[in-house]
A and B are shown apart, each in its own frame.
Chain A
């Protein structure tokens, strides 16, 4: 019983932000008398926050290396503007345009990464300059105007849903099938992992907790699929997010690159003397952020169906807030991709819930500021107690 209690406390600390997210959702579910968790609104929350989540993933990596990126909003706007010019003004094929936009993002990231990693200019300065530079360039290329009406196929990356195999049915059957298959896959992989750990004599933790965790997550997956299926199905953008989250989590946890990124933030000198190519890692993390900012720019433009000079305004601050709510540390060296996603969702649900309640953006901003402070304070205080 004692071990279960300790294990529970440890897990509570680890999953504190998830529990907070669930709490916030329940709170707004009550305050909006059930509107928050309707199929339509859940779909909305995913689509509204997708681009911030994409940025938050990259921002988390940046913050783990002990850096910061203030330019992502401007970079997203700039790439969005270029995409509009390519697709709308010059009628380039969608795939080619998307590819060129990603390359552009990578080049911008490399530009900033070069100054930060190889010339040793603090990232705060370089990306502050980038924020001004790319906002300015966005205005230049758009000539201060909004360019609108993307091709339909492009719009669907942000607003489309996977098709149904039985048209006209009340539930999206394909969505349900995907959801069920995925939860089976999830349970299977968790089971296999536990078995692997056991066969190597590693500590596998308390079984009851393991079982509760797996059952809870499976329930969440199935409920979410059901909710999505009863509206329009799985949005394409959710698939993009899913691939990014799973991919980045795996890179950060299981690969040599990921481990090296953590050590750069943990102690750069020690990492360098241990054979970690610290400059290359820092450079790489910024190139990666550039690409993710480009994806964000594309998804956002597709959603607006327009490229505007003010697109992506203050996105950088939302992404940074998400990373810190999700457990990043100013000193670097800690944080998880999943944490960034949770952080972005906490902000997203707050936005959505307050909008549903009819609270104005003025108060929304103020409350979000307070939540950011409270979340990080909670994290730091509970960590100090833990050690």
Chain B
């Protein structure tokens, strides 16, 4: 009992009309890595908000004890004083400030109100060493990449003498290499006696690093498994999370592949700000009718840039190369022409580039093809509602009404709205950039099913993903992209992770 760091007992939290948490119990041992898993909407974030005082004491029932002492946090400052720090999925850094300024933001190294910059910088160097980040304290945050930013957040946490570090989906936006580093860091913390709560959808990671895993479902604790003694498999956890046996992570696929539909030849793109830097170099690839191809690459390999530059020159400068559709060369000058040629691009960042969050499901679904629900430039409400209802059914979007604002939907359902929007443009070639990022297992399966269904309808699909198992699970053919160049091409049958990883890291860092 001595080493029980945290105990949450009988936590119930209700919002008007919804019970978000119902009698949740969780105990975290000191110095352990404790994973918290569950589908989106299972209540993980709410639980952490209760813990950190975002939902103040008194707005929930049940008790939170730290080292056996009852906590009555009224706000996040009080929980930070106790050494509890949350690192959110959306990072809370100021992009225009330096690394050092960000780390000591709100905790400035000042004497009599004057900041001591030398002290700040030396301390920052020390912290950066601890988290293994090789940047200067004076580098500007926006220039150091997502992986680096995540580490800066952690450095910030350590600077506040953290005792309980809560990481919300820390590796969602990271490539495999950065993820690996981050997880190693967690082991390092464990040695130092820092307790971690890790929220993650990536069960492989969880099994690898965590000592305990607590499964939440529909706002209730299902069970806590000890990973130290028992051999727990991914499927066991998934079963607890979804409450049913999910036989397969990937649905069956019956490929019926036809002729070449879309082809890119010698595609070269320069960086928009650095005129001599090639972001993509002589990229050629093709996709056939009814085929699903994958593009595997580490972050910064040029995956998103490839899709965006093809999609109506939405990225880059001095774009050269040829695009063929059904054997004929075409030119695509802007997004509208791309849509007219039957292209669709589902962005990796649905909130920023995919959805108008403050608009309704209906308006988002029809946005890219309003002409289809209009007569002489007038949008017809009844046509629009019919179309939206149809897509809602086809995509299995869970929403009480198509009039509901998209911002209130869960991540998986938002992604279905984006897919539905592009389906409504009747595309022939769909480019899906990280289509399952930040989505729970159940919704992922549904998205895969939708993708398969589209391929069966004869659409050609290009999937960009940093999750290799995903690409191997659903693609017919996979290209690897490294440093803006295609470094390999493998068929589904002889694709394995090690080989692809090798291709993906080829030439990496050479130029």
Task: Name B389's closest neighbour in chain A (CB-CB).
Answer: A201
With an 8 A cutoff between CB atoms, is A154 at the interface? no
Q: Is the Cβ of B377 less than 8 Å from the Cβ of A255?
A: yes
Instruction: A202 to B384: give the CA distance in the assembly, Å.
Output: 11
A213 interface residue, CB < 8 Å from B?
no
CB distance from B273 to the nearest CB of A (A): 14
Which of B336, B374, B421 is the one whose CB lies under 8 Å from A277? Answer: B336
Chain B residue numbers with a CB within 8 Å of A256 are 370-371, 374, 377, 379
Interface membership of B326, Cβ < 8 A: no
Q: What per-residue 1/0 map shows which CB atoms of A266-293 lie under 8 Å from chain B?
A: 1101111111110000000000000000
Convert A249-275 into 0s and 1s, putting 1 for each residue whose CB lies closer than 8 angstroms to a CB of B. 000001111111011001101111111
Please, which residues of chain B bring their CB within 8 A of the CB of A272?
314, 335
> Which residues in B have their C-beta under 8 angstroms from that of A333?
356, 358-359
| CB pair B385 A263 closer than 8 Å | no
CB within 8 Å for A273 and B378 given contacts A259-B363, A263-B359, A266-B358:
no
List chain B residues, Cβ under 8 A from A254. 378-379, 381
Collect the chain A residues with CB atoms within 8 Å of residue B339's CB.
275
B355: CB under 8 A from chain A?
yes
Does chain A have a CB within 8 A of B357?
Answer: yes
**Is A190 engaged at the interface, CB distance under 8 Å to the other chain?**
no
Is B368 an interface position by the 8 A CB rule? yes
How many residue pairs bridge A and B at CB < 8 Å? Answer: 80
Binds A, one of B81-89, B114-122, B177-185, B345-353: B345-353
Does A197 belong to the interface (CB within 8 Å)? yes
Per-position 1/0 for B184-219, Cβ under 8 A of A: 000000000000000000000000000000000000
The one of B314, B355, B359, B385 in contact with A202, judged by C-beta atoms closer than 8 angstroms, is B385
Residue A200 at the B interface, CB < 8 A? yes
A260 to chain B, nearest CB (A): 8
How far does the alpha carbon of A126 sit from the alpha carbon of B257 in the complex, in Å?
A: 55
Does B367 sit within 8 A of A, measured CB to CB?
Answer: yes
Q: When the two chains form the complex, which single residue of A202, A259, A263 contacts B382, counting CB atoms closer than 8 Å?
A: A202
> B442 near A: Cβ within 8 Å?
no
By beta carbon, the residue of chain A nearest B367 is A274
A334 at the interface (CB under 8 A from B): yes
Give min CB distance, A276 to chain B, whole Å. 7
With A256-B371, A256-B379: A273-B386 Cβ-Cβ less than 8 Å:
no
A255 touches B378 (CB 8 A): yes
B311 at the interface (CB under 8 A from A): yes
A273 touches B370 (CB 8 A): no
Whether, in the assembled complex, A91 has its beta carbon less than 8 Å from a beta carbon of chain B, the answer is no
Contact indicator B367/A263 (Cβ below 8 Å): yes
Interface SS of chain A: helix, strand, loop or mixed? Answer: helix
- Which residues does chain B contribute within 8 Å of A274, judged by CB atoms? 335, 367-368, 421
**Per-residue A-contact encoding for B402-431, CB less than 8 Å = 1, 0 else:** 000000000000000000010001000000
Is B354 engaged at the interface, CB distance under 8 Å to the other chain?
yes
Number of interface residues of A (CB under 8 A): 26
- The one of B334, B357, B374, B381 that contacts A266, using a Cβ cutoff of 8 Å: B357
Binary CB contact string for chain A from 195 to 239 against chain B (1 if under 8 A, 0 otherwise): 011001010000000000000000000000000000000000000
In Å, the complex CA distance between A258 and B370 comes to: 11
Q: Contact between B335 and A263 (Cβ–Cβ < 8 Å)?
A: no
A276 CB contact (under 8 Å) in B352, B354, B367, B381: B367
Residues in B with CB closer than 8 Å to A259 are 363, 367, 370, 379
Q: How far is the CA of A255 from the CA of B377 in the complex (A)?
A: 6
CB-defined contacts of B354 to chain A, threshold 8 Å = 270, 273
Beta-carbon contacts of A321-353 to B below 8 Å, as 1s and 0s? 000000000000110000000000000000000
A-side contacts of B381, CB under 8 Å = 197, 202, 254
Contact assessment for B379 and A271 in the assembled complex, using a CB-CB cutoff below 8 Å? no
What residues on B are CB-neighbors of A263 within 8 Å?
A: 356, 359, 363, 367
Residues from chain A with a CB closer than 8 A to the CB of B385 are: 200, 202
> Would you call A275 and B363 a contact (CB within 8 A)?
no
B376: nearest chain-A partner, CB-CB:
A255
**For the complex, what is the distance from the CA of A202 to the CA of B362, rounded to whole Å?**
13
Residue of A nearest to B378 (CB): A254
Closest to B370 in A: A256
| In the complex, chain B residues 314-370 whose Cβ is within 8 Å of any chain A Cβ | 314, 334-336, 338-339, 345, 347, 352-359, 363, 367-368, 370
Distance, CA A334 to CA B377, complexed state (A)? 21
For B367, what are the chain A residues with a Cβ–Cβ distance below 8 Å? 259, 263, 271, 274, 276
Residues of A with C-beta under 8 A to B370? 256, 259-260
What is the CA–CA distance of A275 and B425 in the complex, to the nearest angstrom?
Answer: 10
The residues of A with any CB-CB pair to B shorter than 8 Å are 196-197, 200, 202, 254-260, 262-263, 266-267, 269-277, 333-334
Counting from the closest, the 10 A-B pairs by CB-CB distance are A266-B356, A200-B382, A274-B368, A256-B370, A267-B356, A275-B335, A275-B339, A274-B367, A254-B378, A275-B336
* A–B complex contacts, Cβ < 8 Å, 13 sampled: A196-B382, A254-B378, A255-B377, A255-B378, A256-B370, A259-B367, A263-B363, A266-B357, A267-B356, A267-B358, A270-B355, A273-B345, A273-B353
Chain B contact residues, CB within 8 Å of chain A: 311, 314, 334-336, 338-339, 345, 347, 352-359, 363, 367-368, 370-371, 374, 377-379, 381-382, 385-386, 421, 425
A197-B381, A274-B421 known, 10 other contacts, Cβ within 8 Å: A200-B385, A255-B377, A256-B370, A263-B367, A266-B358, A267-B352, A267-B356, A269-B352, A273-B311, A275-B339
